[in-house]
Amino acid sequence: MLSSRVRLVTTTARLVHSLIYSSSRSFMDLKALLSSLNDFASLSFAESWDNVGLLVEPSPPHTVNTLFLTNDLTEEVMEEALQKKADLILSYHPPIFRPMKRITWKTWKERLVIRALENRVGIYSPHTAYDAAPQGVNNWLAKGLGVCTSRPIHPSKAPDYPTEGTHRVEFSVTHTQDLDKVISALKEIAGVSVTSFSARTDDEEQTRLSLNCTQQALMQVVAFLSQNRQFYQKTEILSLEKPLLLYTGMGRLCTLDESVSLETMIERIKSHLKLSHVRLALGIGKTLESPVKVVTLCAGSGSSVLQGTDADLYLTGEMSHHDVLDAASQGISVILCEHSNTERGFLSDLRDMLDAHLENKINIILSETDRDPLHVI
In the annotated binding site for a divalent metal cation, the residues are 93, 131, 339, 343
End-to-end alpha carbon distance in the chain: 59
Per the annotation, binding residues are 93, 131, 339, 343
3-state secondary structure the chain: CHHHHHHHHHHHHHHHHHHHHHHHCCCEEHHHHHHHHHHHCCHHHCCCCCCCEEEECCCCCCEECEEEEECCCCHHHHHHHHHCCCCEEEECCCCCCCCCCCCCCCCHHHHHHHHHHHCCCEEEECCHHHHHCCCCHHHHHHHHHCCEEEECCEEEECCCCCCCCCEEEEEEECCHHHHHHHHHHHHCCCCEEEEEEEEEECCEEEEEEEEEECHHHHHHHHHHHCCCHHHHHCCEEEECCCCEEEEEEECEEEEEEEEEEHHHHHHHHHHHHCCCCCEEECCCCCCCCCEEEEEEEEEEECHHHHCCCCCCEEEEEECCHHHHHHHHHCCCEEEECCHHHHCCCHHHHHHHHHHHHCCCCCEEEECCCCCCCCCCC
**Pair 193, 202: CB distance under 8 Å:** no
Contact present, 45 and 133 (Cβ < 8 Å): yes
